[in-house]
Chain A
Amino acid sequence: DQQVKQNSPSLSVQEGRISILNCDYTNSMFDYFLWYKKYPAEGPTFLISISSIKDKNEDGRFTVFLNKSAKHLSLHIVPSQPGDSAVYFCAASAGNFNKFYFGSGTKLNVKP
C-alpha cells in the first residue's frame, strides 16, 4: 500500500528555470514531510522538511509547499542548476515515530 506517491518518474528542466517536483499522500495522520536528494550508490541526502502546522518552508533555492486539504506536497528549486540532477524522494511520517514512508522518486535532469 503506497501511502506516498510520486507520479512523475522523471523531469527534465533547463538550467536557470524552475523545477517543480510533486508528491501526493493518502494518510491524513502524516504530520512531518521531508525531501531527499539521492545519487546512485549513495544514501539519500536531506534537503528540506516541513511540519503539518506550516504550508511553506524555504531554504535558499529550495521551497517546499504543503497543501493538507489536497494531501499534496511540492518541492520548488529556483534556479535549477546542473548539479541538482539526481533522484528526489519525498517522505512522510506520523506521530511519535521516526518511521518514514518514501515515494518512488523523481529523476530530475537539469540541462545546461
Chain B
Amino acid sequence: KAGVTQTPRYLIKTRGQQVTLSCSPISGHRSVSWYQQTPGQGLQFLFEYFSETQRNKGNFPGRFSGRQFSNSRSEMNVSTLELGDSALYLCASSFKVTGAEAFFGQGTRLTVV
C-alpha cells in the first residue's frame, strides 16, 4: 500500500509569489490534514479536510488555504509569500475522523527568498 505522497519535495519561491503544494493520501483515507514545521514553532496544525469539507483550521492567516478533491487528494495554497513562510509542510492522512493515527508524507520543503 503506497504511503502519503507529497509533491514537490523541494521548492524555492520569491517573496510575494504564491505556491501550491499537493498531497495524495493513503488509499481509502478520507481525512487529510496539513501541518507546518519550523525550528522555532515546531509542528503546527494548518487545517483538516474530510470528504472535501474543511472541518478544522489552525491559527494561520487567510493567505493559507486548501482544498480537497473527490478522490481525497488535497492541495494547499499560500499566497503572497513571506520569508517567514519558509518551512517544512507536512500532509497527513487518517482513515477515521477521530481516534486514529495520522500517517505523514515526507513533506515539502519550501524556501522563500
Contacts and interface: CB of A to CB of B under 8 A. Distances in A.
- A and B held together in a complex: yes
Interface of A: 31-32, 34, 36, 41-46, 49, 51, 89, 91, 93, 95-105
Contacts of B94: 98
B98 A46 contact: no
B31 interface: yes
Contact of A97 (B6, B42, B55): B55
Scoring A41, A44, A49 by chain B CB atoms within 10 A of each residue's CB, the highest score goes to: A44
Nearest to B40: A104
Interface string B75-110: 000000000000010101010111111111111010
A49 B101 contact: yes
A105 to B, nearest CB: 7
A98 B109 contact: no
B90 A44 contact: yes
Contacts of B101: 34, 46, 49
B45 A41 contact: no
A26 to B, nearest CB: 15
Contacts of A32: 98-99
A44 B104 contact: yes
Contact of A51 (B48, B99, B107): B99
Contacts of A99: 33, 45, 48, 56, 58
